[in-house]
Amino acid sequence: SYVLTQPPSVSVAPGKTARITCGGNNIGSKSVHWYQQKPGQAPVLVIYYDSDRPSGIPERFSGSNSGNTATLTISRVEAGDEADYYCQVWDSSSDHLRVFGGGTKLTVL
């Protein structure tokens, strides 16, 4: 089945830009979705179809996808952005599996 690879952790200072990557074989040919999960809470969709933002998600959150890497970018990082972030794709070739990356812990220094 399809495998998504994320770095376990990313650290960034407040006000700077955080970039969280999600690697997969030719992932640029798939649509990538991103979720934010804070401790003790359910995940929240922050980016869908590579770069679309649901209503209520700040413009500071953006996404891109090309080649073998998709990237979630968080600009002007705030303390409240500290959370786990997961990428996800739909693998229609493999019994319609929804596949998640292993998750990245974003630490705001």
Partner 1 sequence: EVQLVESGGGLVKPGGSLRLSCAASGFTFSSYSMNWVRQAPGKGLEWVSSISSSSSYIYYADSVKGRFTISRDNAKNSLYLQMNSLRAEDTAVYYCARDLGSSGSRYFDLWGRGTLVTVSS
Residues that bind partner 1 (CB under 8 A): 1, 30-31, 33, 35, 37, 41-45, 48-49, 54, 84, 86, 88-90, 92, 95-103
* Interatomic CA distance for residues 80 and 30, integer angstroms: 30
Do the Cβ atoms of 10 and 107 come closer than 8 Å?
yes
User: Could you identify the residue written with the tokens 């220094």?
Assistant: 109
Q: Which is nearer to partner 1, 79 or 98 (CB)?
A: 98
Instruction: Tell me how far, at minimum, the Cβ of 77 lies from partner 1, in Å.
Output: 22
- Closest by CA to 68, choosing from 100, 23, 106, is 23
Q: For 44, how many CA atoms within 13 A lie in the half-sphere containing its CB?
A: 16
Give whichever of 43 and 58 is closer to partner 1, judged by the CB atom.
43
Q: Of the two residues 26 and 98, which places its CB atom closer to partner 1 in the complex?
A: 98
3-state DSSP call for residue 59? coil
Closest distance to partner 1 from the beta carbon of 109 (Å): 23
DSSP assignment letter at 52:
B
Nearest residue (CB) to partner 1, 33 versus 82: 33
CB of residue 15 to partner 1, shortest distance in Å? 28
